[in-house]
Amino acid sequence: MSLVVDIHTHMLNREWLDLLKRHGAPRYSVAQVDAGVEAVHKDGAPFMTLTPGMFDYDLRVRNMDRARVDLAVVSLTCPNAYWGGPEISLKAARIVNDDMAAAQRRYPERIRWFASLPWQHRDLALQELGRACDAGAVGVMVLANIGGRSLTDPAFADIWKAIDDRRLPVLVHPTDPPGAGEMDMADHNLIPPIGFTFDTSLAIARCIYDGFLDRYPNLKLIASHGGGALPYLVGRLDICHERIPRCRARTQERPSNYMRRVYVDTVVFTQEALDMCVKVCGPDNVLYGSDYPHNIGDMTGCLARVDNLPGAIRHQVRGGNASRIFEFG
């Protein structure tokens, strides 16, 4: 069988978590949600439950063996390093980047990693990008909004230019979307089931309508969770581009054409959703991902749905596409 590469999978470490507990206030905190279970909260609303697998690379590799996953490209999930001011933000990114680099050295055949950056602080982000790439990072992690600011904000242009010049894949991962408090997403803990997919959909749709992908032609954006709702909404994006002048003011390409330049993962949980991702984005642009070790993460189930795809497509999604865009040997 073909190489299996998991491109949407996460790791933390205790030093990063301790730093968040000390410096995440006033917006971020860590509190118990069930007996013996903690979660990261923003503005009092839980949005990431902590699990043992987030801190244990030995456990990760054993679970990869059980699921028959060959290689994991790990990343720091939200809230990443977007808190605490310049010094703390840089420290948070470096703690995790260094830990992931050490994990790659320990498991050179099993672990690769996305760099985290202090995106709000341009010079520090550019400095850390170079340092992380020198340490072995194969891509960059970015949240779908950066402290409430859009990815297309001019403040981030120099960072995007540096990433584009390096031709690095970028995992666009959601966090709590702007307006989560006003929409009462703490009720029923709606951020993970709905808020995250909304955050990704808004971010990528803005990149498409903004002409962002034209400005950065080497960029390889990977939209988490099957691209949010975008495969389902691509027809709506097209008709709005056709009939609403402001939707096409910065680009003449149809959004459906740009969706063929966006990569999506397989963290979708139904076969029908995965089939739609392949149809809309193309078989060359779908990458196996599991969302392990979140409490909804599922290495085995996500891979089983991939293995239900037709033979040639199955090979591409299992790892062929990832090997191509990350340039794995």
Lowest mean pLDDT among 65-69, 121-125, 172-176, 291-295: 172-176
**Residue 306: pLDDT over 80:** yes
> Is residue 280 within 8 Å of residue 234, measured between CB atoms?
yes
- Are 220 and 263 in contact by the 8 Å Cβ rule? The answer is yes
Choice among 44-58, 181-195, 222-236 with the minimum mean pLDDT: 181-195
The answer to the question of residue 114 being in a domain is yes
Question: With the C-alpha atoms ordered 214, 220, 223, 229, is the resulting torsion angle positive or negative?
Answer: positive
Range of the domain at 299: 5-9+57-325
Read off the pLDDT of each residue in 268-282 and give the average, rounded to a whole number: 97
Is it the case that residue 148 has pLDDT exceeding 80?
A: yes
Looking at residue 181, its pLDDT comes to 72
- In percent, the amount of the chain with pLDDT more than 70 equals 100
Mean of all residue pLDDT scores within the chain:
95
pLDDT of residue 185: 75
How do 37-42 and 45-49 pair as beta strands?
antiparallel
**CATH code: domain of residue 310:** 3.20.20.140
Whether 160 is in a domain gets the answer yes
- pLDDT, mean of residues 54-68: 98
Q: Rounded mean pLDDT of 45-53?
A: 88
The upper half-sphere exposure of residue 272, i.e. CA atoms within 13 Å in the direction of its Cβ, equals 1
What pLDDT does residue 325 have?
97
Tokens matching residue 224: 């988490």
What pLDDT is recorded for position 262?
Answer: 96
pLDDT band at 138 (very low <50, low <70, confident <90, very high): very high
> Where does the pLDDT of residue 1 fall: very low under 50, low under 70, confident under 90, or very high at 90 and above?
low
**29 falls within a domain:** no
Q: Is residue 24 part of a domain?
A: no
CA distance 313 to 159: 34
Q: Given a cut of 90, is residue 175 above it in pLDDT?
A: no
Question: b vs e for 133-164, b when ≥16 Cβ sit within 10 Å of the residue's Cβ?
Answer: bebbbbbbbbbbbbeeebbbeeebeebbebbb
* 43 occurs within a structural domain: no
Q: What is the CA radius of gyration of the chain?
A: 19
**Concatenated DSSP letters of 115-155:** EP--TTSHHHHHHHHHHHHHHT--EEEEESSBTTB-TT-GG
Extract the tokens encoding 63. 């679970």
What pLDDT sits at residue 72?
Answer: 98
Domain count, the chain: 1
Band (194; pLDDT cuts 50, 70, 90): confident
52 domain-assigned: no
**Does 117 or 179 have the greater pLDDT score?**
117
Report how far residue 124's alpha carbon sits from residue 293's, in angstroms, rounded to the nearest whole number. 29
**Is position 278 within any domain?**
yes
DSSP class per residue in 4-61: -EEEEEE---HHHHHHHHHH-TTTEEEEEEETTEEEEEETTEEEEE--GGGG-HHHHH
Residue range 284-297, pLDDT digits in tens: 999 999 999 999 99
With respect to residue 214, please indicate whether it lies within any of the assigned structural domains: yes
Residue 75, pLDDT > 80, answer yes
The model's confidence at residue 15, banded by pLDDT at 50, 70 and 90, is very high
Mean pLDDT across 11-37: 93
